[in-house]
């Protein structure tokens, strides 16, 4: 990593290095956000399945008048 930083510094491409680091950070954040959204969807799906199982076990009674 140090040799890569030295190569960028010698050529004066510090702006490119900053852009690369920003892009890597933004990509990592997007990847983590998508993974968390997928986990949340899986948890919601499990909740809905459990609710459907509960409703199947306990049929609805007609309301009393």
DSSP type of residue 42: H
Q: Which tokens sit at 7?
A: 């190569």
Whole-number Å distance between alpha carbons of 47 and 61: 23
Asked whether the beta carbons of 33 and 41 are under 8 A apart, the reply is: no
pLDDT tens column, 38-47: 999 999 999 9
Per-residue model confidence as pLDDT tens digits over 9-60: 777 677 888 888 999 999 999 999 999 999 999 999 999 999 999 999 988 8
pTM check: above 0.75 = no
Closest CA to 1 of 25, 21, 26: 21
User: What φ, ψ does residue 58 adopt, rounded to 5°?
Assistant: -120, 90
């Amino acid at each position: 990593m140090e040799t890569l930083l030295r190569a960028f510094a010698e050529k004066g491409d510090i702006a490119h290095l900053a852009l690369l680091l920003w892009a890597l950070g933004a990509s990592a954040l997007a990847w983590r956000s998508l993974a968390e959204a997928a986990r949340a969807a899986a948890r919601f799906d499990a909740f809905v399945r459990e609710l459907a199982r509960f409703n199947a076990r306990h049929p609805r009674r007609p309301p009393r008048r």
